[in-house]
């Protein structure tokens, strides 16, 4: 691309890419066909569309078309409204971007209105970080000022990809381009009046769109089980229809030719054709075993449980106004089945608020001073001598200040390194009021420490760094920045002092720096290592500092090769890494820093609660082993009574990756045998690999929690990803499924919301399959009495409204509000969480039990009404033994029974539950009397044939007696069976509910002792001739008898939970 040369750019092949991006799926003309096409790609929707087509064939269907069409249209409409609202939301976002200061293309920054051509941007739309980032233009373009339209240069870059790499050539000089000089699409311009830029990429070629890869869709274990069960139900439906078809053929051969009860038989009907048509007819009649509203109901329940997380004030962190957030609505019940938690340390278990605590300089340690009682025996250091010091900085070791002020060369070189080797950007709105914008809290803490000890980082340009050294301002020429990444684990800068001295300053992890030290540092390295171990034992984060003086001739040659590598279009990173390795060797050791990062509130208690719930917690951290172990003891993950420790250590890249695939399983088995697992010195990629290893072989539900960009891969790899909005930006939150501000909220997310969501979803599925199978099996039994002719038992309108109106709201009420115990008991007994880990509430066995329960209920619901209506007459002697009366009685019994079953399954009643249950019954009778009335028959004769059935049948005592008997016979065995199970084989929930009910009973009123009559008699019997209670009093058996029973009862409960 050429600057200020539009004809050339338009003629170049790059111009085929414009800046248009379409984020919405539909427009007003394509919405209906495209949305229907997408919805019918789902198996369930396609299946019911197939049923609807079958119902249009008169020779097959015994049901009207609306029995399938109405539910299908309703489901499609709900989904279409949701898709349309999401698409409109995306369109409004794009419209907002066009009208705001959000950048809409990738720009090369040329100049700006700010001093030194700085630009402040907010990248919240990209990485979620709300702190402002500073970009700086190249000096060659920034100095052009208002003459930017005279820029005659061109840029060269790679093909559009996830990275921005290129060069800018101006006046024959080539400059490297990287992210520090590019404003990306999605950034928002802040605190900057204007800026000029050259568009590098636009539209789909921008980095934002190139990195917008497909997000892996996570599904819960219940989703997978539901898919398997639905396939099994399809097979079961096919088998039932086959049985019905074969039975119809047999009936046609034996009875059909002579069966002319009312109308003569149609000619040309043979058994084979009748059997074939009967198969498809029963596919229609028995289709309710595959409920069309199942998936819609599941999504509604998940959405409601997600709102509970968003609304939970007990997970709200007022300090930074951060509520808990369910960023996905499809994984709620998975929170109740977590077996393994993988946690980052820094910012997740700790506060990620770094403070410079201790240091080692030239073999001497400085830092906090304590006496034998553990109390500080010195006052805070007074930094009034330094007018640029940060007043919030606290340090207690006065000897370090004295050493620095005395001119100790090693101490001053130590803090000079901290003031120069970083990527911090300073902001000074008033004289002396410095504010540092650091990419990590560690860098901010170290630069602040250098500032207070007399080496104040004041300003920077692309070519210089200005530092106030002990009151004297010194400007260093910045020759190169060898930046930090997770593979290098170090950072270096090469500077030239005003005297012309060339120095490389480096800081990084101890193992990395030690490999690059000069052999003359071996003695100092041993002393520094002892200090590092001491600091790590106190849970401090450590870095090692080193430097190297450079030769001018070598530096000129290296800088030339560095410029060639940095402007290379291919293999830039590999070539730069080779140059970095070449120059970062034979370093001289300066010392080490120790930064304190305190634990968050409630972390030990949370880990203890989760451990009681049989959840295994693995900590994956990049810190050294001693630091990780100390944090483990602080969090109660490690305890003194733990004797056996298993450590896998490797000092080289080959050793770290030496485990072959056949040894992975052995490593996993060994780790799972340990009570506590802490992985240290791991990279972000290794964190994700550990999670994937457990997912692959343990078949357990995993959760990963972190707060930084280095935790994103781990969060995405786990079944559930939890992001903590902390000091390291919002990238972890943006990649997570759930987010909050503090680690301690994790126990409420799992032990309360997760367990309730899993319990509610399992209850919903059990009840949903029960009521649908019961509804369907009645048709199956009726087939043996209607010649397998696919005649339905119920009225067509009842079939249509059964799942949509009559039974929809009661089950949703139970699935949204039910809870076995409240949150207080969930915290007090975290062992209640274990059934979800074992899939005890809904599995294949539970599904089979639902089928058996439905089969029994359907037998009662068919044969009892059948026998009750057989040759039955009214009170006035008129016959009511007709098909319509039987259908009305059967469907009324069914609706009453399934509602009673719902009541038996509900443990927590609210006004909403009561309204839904009684409201559904009231709606049923209201709709039934309306549809079976004379008026509806006169208006829609063919649609409402059950004229007067409700009025003639429901006023008879024997009908209500039948309803009572069927309800009793369906529910009494269930109650008896559950009572026996609770008495003989109680589950942990049964014992817990019994304890809750027992403690909820009101205490017995204190018995008033009779008032003694005041007597003036001075004589009486002081002793009895019979044996008294003296031995009981002296032995204290009588006094201890009652408390002893109470303690024993409590012991039994505790031992039960320990075993669970």
H-helix segments, 204-266 = 207-210, 221-251
How far is 780 from 233, CA to CA, in rounded Å? 15
What is the 8-class DSSP label of residue 2? B
- Residue with token string 């691309």: 1
How far is 822 from 756, CA to CA, in rounded Å? 9
Cβ-count burial of 1033 within 10 angstroms (0-12 exposed, 13-18 middle, 19+ buried)?
A: exposed
As a dihedral over the C-alpha atoms of residue 993, residue 996, residue 999, residue 1000, rounded to 10 degrees, the angle is -100
Rounded to a whole number, what is the distance in angstroms from the first to the last CA of the chain?
Answer: 69
In the numeric block, which tokens belong to residue 366?
């400085």
Buried b (16+ CB within 10 A) or exposed e, 517-537: beeebeebbebbeebbbbbbe
Q: Are 869 and 952 in contact (CB under 8 A)?
A: no
Name the residue ranges covered by the structural domains of the chain.
Answer: 20-98, 105-210, 221-302+752-994, 316-350+598-743, 355-596
- Residue with token string 């009892």: 864
361 phi and psi angles, rounded to 5 deg? -125, 115
Buried b (16+ CB within 10 A) or exposed e, 557-594: ebeeebeebbbbeeebeebbbebbeebbeebbbbbbbb
How far is 183 from 203, CA to CA, in rounded Å? 14
Neighbours of 819 (CB within 10 A): 15
Looking at residue 955, its pLDDT comes to 82
In the numeric block, which tokens belong to residue 950?
């409700």
Closest CA to 367 of 403, 339, 391, 336: 403
Name the active-site residue from 205, 312, 344, 795: 344
Q: Are 775 and 800 in contact (CB under 8 A)?
A: no
Q: Are 128 and 733 in contact (CB under 8 A)?
A: yes
Q: In whole angstroms, what separates CA 852 from the centre of its chain?
A: 36
Count of residues making up the chain: 1060
Angle between helix axes 883-905 and 755-783 (nearest 10 degrees) is 160
What residues contact 383, with CB distance under 8 A and at least 6 apart?
Answer: 389, 391, 393, 401, 452
Looking at residue 51, its pLDDT comes to 76
- Residue with token string 């609706």: 895
In the numeric block, which tokens belong to residue 559?
């800088």
Q: In whole angstroms, what separates CA 914 from the centre of its chain?
A: 33
Q: Are 315 and 739 in contact (CB under 8 A)?
A: no
In the predicted model, residues of the chain with pLDDT beneath 70 are 1-2, 4-5, 8-25, 42-43, 59, 61-68, 86-87, 89-101, 124-132, 154, 156-165, 208-217, 256-269, 369-378, 643-662, 727-729, 873-881, 937, 940-944, 1000-1060
The tens digit of pLDDT for each residue in 800-831 reads 889 888 998 999 999 999 998 888 889 988 99
Looking at residue 890, its pLDDT comes to 93
CA distances from 899 to 22, 774, 803 (A): 49, 12, 13
Closest CA to 995 of 937, 1057, 944: 1057
Q: Beta 188-190 vs 502-508: how paired, if at all? A: unpaired
Domain 355-596 has CATH 3.40.1110.10: yes
Count of alpha carbons within 13 angstroms of residue 745, beta-carbon side: 23
Q: Beta 118-123 vs 129-136: how paired, if at all? A: antiparallel
Q: Are 529 and 576 in contact (CB under 8 A)?
A: no
Closest CA to 586 of 479, 482, 500, 506: 506
The tens digit of pLDDT for each residue in 232-274 reads 988 999 999 999 999 988 888 777 666 666 656 666 567 788 8
- Residue with token string 């002081």: 1022
Radius of gyration, CA atoms only, the chain? 38
Looking at residue 1028, its pLDDT comes to 40
Looking at residue 260, its pLDDT comes to 61
CA distances from 820 to 613, 654, 831, 938, 1028 (A): 17, 53, 14, 50, 50
Q: Are 376 and 396 in contact (CB under 8 A)?
A: yes
Note if 644 is an active site residue.
no
Looking at residue 181, its pLDDT comes to 81
Bridge partners (DSSP) of residue 322 are 317
CA distances from 999 to 53, 830, 993, 1003 (A): 59, 18, 10, 9
In the numeric block, which tokens belong to residue 841?
């509430």
Q: Are 187 and 128 in contact (CB under 8 A)?
A: no
Q: Which CATH class is domain 221-302+752-994?
A: mainly alpha
Looking at residue 289, its pLDDT comes to 84
Looking at residue 1002, its pLDDT comes to 54
3-class DSSP assignment, residue 724 = strand
How far is 400 from 591, CA to CA, in rounded Å? 13
Domain 316-350+598-743 has CATH 1.10.260.40: no
H-run or E-run covering 553: helix 552-566
Looking at residue 78, its pLDDT comes to 77
What residues contact 804, with CB distance under 8 A and at least 6 apart?
Answer: 70, 71, 74, 293
H-run or E-run covering 119: strand 118-123
Q: Are 810 and 917 in contact (CB under 8 A)?
A: yes
Which segments of 693-754 are extended strands (E)? Answer: 701-706, 720-724, 738-740
In the numeric block, which tokens belong to residue 890?
């059967």
Q: Beta 355-361 vs 588-596: how paired, if at all? A: antiparallel
């Amino acid at each position: 691309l050429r600057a200020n040369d539009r004809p050339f750019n338009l003629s170049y092949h790059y111009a085929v890419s414009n800046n248009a991006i379409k984020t919405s799926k539909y427009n007003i003309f394509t919405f209906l066909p495209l949305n229907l096409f997408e919805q019918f790609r789902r198996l369930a929707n396609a299946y019911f569309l197939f049923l609807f087509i079958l119902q249009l064939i008169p020779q097959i269907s015994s049901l009207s078309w609306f029995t399938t069409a109405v539910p299908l249209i309703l489901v499609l409409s709900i989904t279409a409204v949701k898709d349309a609202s999401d698409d409109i939301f995306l369109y409004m976002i794009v419209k907002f971007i066009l009208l705001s200061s959000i950048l809409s293309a990738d720009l090369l920054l040329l100049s700006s209105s700010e001093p030194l051509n700085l630009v402040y941007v907010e990248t919240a739309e990209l990485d979620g970080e709300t702190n402002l980032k500073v970009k700086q233009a190249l000096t060659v373009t920034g100095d052009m000022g208002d003459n930017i339209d005279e820029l005659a240069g061109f840029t060269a870059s790679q093909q559009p990809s996830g990275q921005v790499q290129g060069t800018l050539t101006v006046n024959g000089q080539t400059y490297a381009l990287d992210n520090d000089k590019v404003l990306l699409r999605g950034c928002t311009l802040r605190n900057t009046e204007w800026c000029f830029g050259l568009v590098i990429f636009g539209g789909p070629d921008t980095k934002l769109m190139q990195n917008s890869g497909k997000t892996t869709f996570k599904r819960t274990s219940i989703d997978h089980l539901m898919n398997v069960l639905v396939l099994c139900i399809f097979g079961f439906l096919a088998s039932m229809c086959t049985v019905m078809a074969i039975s119809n053929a047999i009936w046609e051969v034996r009875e059909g030719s002579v069966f002319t009860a009312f109308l003569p038989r149609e000619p040309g009907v043979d058994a084979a054709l009748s059997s074939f048509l009967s198969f498809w007819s029963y596919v229609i009649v028995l289709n309710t075993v595959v409920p069309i509203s199942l998936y819609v109901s599941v999504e509604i329940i998940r959405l409601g449980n997600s709102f509970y997380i968003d609304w939970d004030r007990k997970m709200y962190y007022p300090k930074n106004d951060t509520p808990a957030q369910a960023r996905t609505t499809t994984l709620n019940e998975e929170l109740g089945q977590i077996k393994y938690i993988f946690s980052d340390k820094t910012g997740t278990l700790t506060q990620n608020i770094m403070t410079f605590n201790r240091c080692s300089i030239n073999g001497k340690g400085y830092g906090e001073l304590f006496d034998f009682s553990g109390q500080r025996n010195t006052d805070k250091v007074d930094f009034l001598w330094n007018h640029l010091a940060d007043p919030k900085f606290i340090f207690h070791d006065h000897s370090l200040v004295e050493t620095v002020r005395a001119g100790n060369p090693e101490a001053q070189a130590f803090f000079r390194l901290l003031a120069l080797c970083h990527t911090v950007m300073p902001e000074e709105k008033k004289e002396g009021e410095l504010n540092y914008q650091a990419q990590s809290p560690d860098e901010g803490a170290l630069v602040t420490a250098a500032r207070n000890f007399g080496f104040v980082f004041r300003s920077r340009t692309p070519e210089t760094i200005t530092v106030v050294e002990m009151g004297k301002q010194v400007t260093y020429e910045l020759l190169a920045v060898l930046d930090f990444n997770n593979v290098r684990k170090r950072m270096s800068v090469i500077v030239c002092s005003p005297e012309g001295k060339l120095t490389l300053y480096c800081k990084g992890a101890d193992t990395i720096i030690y490999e690059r030290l000069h052999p003359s540092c071996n003695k100092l390295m041993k002393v520094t290592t002892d200090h590092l171990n001491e600091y790590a034992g106190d849970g401090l984060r450590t870095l090692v500092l080193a430097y190297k003086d450079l030769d001018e001739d070598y530096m000129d040659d290296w800088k030339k090769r560095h410029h060639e590598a940095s402007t290379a279009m291919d293999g830039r990173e590999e070539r730069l890494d080779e140059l970095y390795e070449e120059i970062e060797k034979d370093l001289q050791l300066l010392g080490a820093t120790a930064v304190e990062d305190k634990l968050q509130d409630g972390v030990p208690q949370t880990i203890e609660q989760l451990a009681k719930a049989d959840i295994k917690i693995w900590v994956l951290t990049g810190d050294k082993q001693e630091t990780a172990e100390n944090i483990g003891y602080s969090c109660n993950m490690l305890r003194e009574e733990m004797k056996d420790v298993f450590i896998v250590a490797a000092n080289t890249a080959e050793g770290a990756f030496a485990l072959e695939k056949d040894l992975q399983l052995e490593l996993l088995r060994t780790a799972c045998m340990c009570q506590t697992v802490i992985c240290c010195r791991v990279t972000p990629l290794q964190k994700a690999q550990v999670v994937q290893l457990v997912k692959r072989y343990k078949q357990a539900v995993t959760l990963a929690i972190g707060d930084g960009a280095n935790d994103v891969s781990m969060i995405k790899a786990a079944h559930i990803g939890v992001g903590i909005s902390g000091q390291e930006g919002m990238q972890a939150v943006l990649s997570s499924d759930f987010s909050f501000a503090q680690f301690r909220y994790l126990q409420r997310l799992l032990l309360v919301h997760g367990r309730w969501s899993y319990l509610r979803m399992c209850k919903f599925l059990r009840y949903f399959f029960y009521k649908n199978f019961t509804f369907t099996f009645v048709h199956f039994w009726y087939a043996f009495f209607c010649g397998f002719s696919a005649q339905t038992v119920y009225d067509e309108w009842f079939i249509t409204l059964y799942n949509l109106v009559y039974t929809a709201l009661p089950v949703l009420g139970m699935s949204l509000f039910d809870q076995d115990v409240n949150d207080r008991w969930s915290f007090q007994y975290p062992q209640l969480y274990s059934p979800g880990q074992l899939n005890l509430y809904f599995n294949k066995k539970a599904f089979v039990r639902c089928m058996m329960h439905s089969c029994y209920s359907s037998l009662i619901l068919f044969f009892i009404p059948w026998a009750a209506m057989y040759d039955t007459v009214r009170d006035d002697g008129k016959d009511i033994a007709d098909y319509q009366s039987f259908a009305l009685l059967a469907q009324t019994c069914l609706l009453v029974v399934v509602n009673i079953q719902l009541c038996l399954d509900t443990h927590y009643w609210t006004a909403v539950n009561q309204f839904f249950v009684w409201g559904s019954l009231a709606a049923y009778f209201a709709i039934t009397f309306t549809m079976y009335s004379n008026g509806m028959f006169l208006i829609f004769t063919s649609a409402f044939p059950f004229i007067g059935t409700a009025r003639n049948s429901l006023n008879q005592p024997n009908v209500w007696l039948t309803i009572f008997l069927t309800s009793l016979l369906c529910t009494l065995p269930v109650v008896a069976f559950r009572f026996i199970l609770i008495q003989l084989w109680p589950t942990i929930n049964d014992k817990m509910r019994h304890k809750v009910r027992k403690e909820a009973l009101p205490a017995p009123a204190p018995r008033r002792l009779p008032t003694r009559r005041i007597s003036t008699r001075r004589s009486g019997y002081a002793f009895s001739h019979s044996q008294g209670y003296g031995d009981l009093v002296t032995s204290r058996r009588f006094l201890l008898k009652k408390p002893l029973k109470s303690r024993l009862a409590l012991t039994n409960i505790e031992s039960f939970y320990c075993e669970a």
